[in-house]
Amino acid sequence: MDFIRDYADWFYLIGAVLFILTLRGLSGPKTAIAGNRYGMIAMAIAVLTTFFVAENPVVWMIVGAMVLGAIVGIARARTVPMTQMPETVALMHSLVGLAAVLIAVAAIIHNNELAKLDVGLLQANGVNFHEMSKVHLFELFVGCFVGAITFTASVFAYGKLAAKKWAKTISGTWVKPVQALIFITMFAAGIHFFLTGNMTSFWAMTGLALVFGWVWIAPVGGGDMPVVVSLLNSFSGWAAAGIGFTLENNMLIVAGSLVGSSGAILSYIMCKAMNRSIINVLFGGAMGGTAVVVDTGDKAPRNHRSGSADDAGFLMSNADSVVIVPGYGMAQGRAQNAVKELANLLKEQGVTVRFAIHPVAGRMPGHMNVLLAEADVPYEDILEMDEINSDFPVTDVVLVIGANDVVNPAAKDDPSSPIYGMPILEAHKARTIMVIKRSMATGYAGLDNDLFYNDKTMMIFGDAKKVVEDMTKAINGNGH
């Protein structure tokens, strides 16, 4: 369509503005739905415009790929449970990285094949051919190796979050030297390709980048995986932007830059929330996995106090204020709707109920916010860490549902703890603390939690959904 070709830049501009509005909308729960809609419209504009401005497109192949992708995407979106959302996000990042690699490979092979043909013959057939400039080679160099690293690193992050056996954490004194050797060799091959256009160097760079992505993320502990997912989101954006320059597609450049910059900012915010540096997360491997070993051999057994759902229901129904701290255990038990019912019942009895959210609760940024939004918990009842921490000392009851590291007092009291200095939800300051957990097992960071042994803490063991439902029955007077 000539109209779209003539005004392609305007369509791209509209799409770019909508992508910016998407990020603005996704910055808050109340505007997130509108933000998603802006993003869908922007992507539709970008895809359709690119389709119609492409030179001699193979229509059946493009449409077929789009249809297959849509079928898989819709099916996955409709069936993925919230507990699997973090690994699904990681898997999506891997596909963006893979796309960047394949586009770079296709662009170089295409250019090399055209270079073998007669320029006059190409022009007679309406094909404009220009030798790849150093700028284009550099763009391909960056887009390809960043995409390759993103692909394999995201695949490993997916495996780690999904607890796959093949995604094993690696450790040892050999790891960092091997990482450095692979990176230097990869970079040297890339520079040689950039300077000479040598295809052997290009394939070597690509292969080494794929290996490096895996070896780079494999030592990172489980407690740092949310930051890694956020950072890989940033990488996928920069890879897309680099390929956008190669394809001379302004929309791809803008969209990739927005994703890259927003992912980088989010990674910084999460590191700040954990009192970690991004370098420490990616190369320290101090939290989670095999990097943290809790030595309890020389320590006396610690006592904890346990109770029942009936006890918890009685305490909450007689409280003036209750703060609920959701964690991954709530997602794992799919307990968000039961929690919403409990909160509503307490409110009907005149109890003030609020939710406290830590920036890195769950397995990805915003995990708990999405769960609570899914259960239609009012946005005004959901408070961030900085907003709620000052209220804990005057809170009658704190109900912790499957959270662990984000409420661990060791972050404030124990200088020897790997999480010392990490800002936490100060639940330990409340008058009464109740914790729903399946067992006394450690959390994702592999650390014991002093909160569980606090004199004010009552442990309630069981599946989060079942326990919360029993609490609701107890408050209604129907407990057993």
Can you give the pLDDT at residue 295? 46
Cα–Cα distance measured from residue 290 to residue 282, given in angstroms and rounded to the nearest whole number:
15
- pTM for this model (two decimals): 0.74
Structural contact between residues 452 and 304, judged by C-beta atoms closer than 8 angstroms: yes
Residues 6+ apart with CB under 8 A from 324: 339, 343, 353, 354, 355, 356, 398, 399, 401
Q: Which of 331, 142, 153, 332 is nearest to 229 (CA)?
A: 153
Angle at the Cα of 279 from the Cα atoms of 228 and 208, rounded to 5 degrees = 70
Cα–Cα distance measured from residue 409 to residue 48, given in angstroms and rounded to the nearest whole number:
53
Can you give the pLDDT at residue 197? 79
Can you give the pLDDT at residue 299? 54
Active site residues: 405
pLDDT tens for each residue of the chain, 480 residues long? 666 777 888 888 999 999 999 988 887 777 888 998 999 999 999 888 888 887 777 888 888 988 998 899 888 888 887 667 778 888 888 998 998 899 888 888 877 776 666 555 545 555 554 556 677 777 777 888 889 999 999 999 888 888 788 888 888 888 889 999 999 999 999 888 888 878 899 999 999 999 999 998 888 866 677 788 888 888 888 888 887 887 778 888 888 899 899 888 888 877 877 777 777 777 754 344 433 444 444 555 678 889 999 999 999 999 999 999 998 889 888 899 999 999 999 999 999 999 999 887 877 777 888 888 888 898 889 998 989 999 999 999 999 998 888 899 988 888 888 778 888 899 999 999 999 998 887 766 667 888 999 999 999 999 999 999 999 999 987 544
Can you give the pLDDT at residue 203? 93
Map residue 352 onto helix, strand or coil.
strand
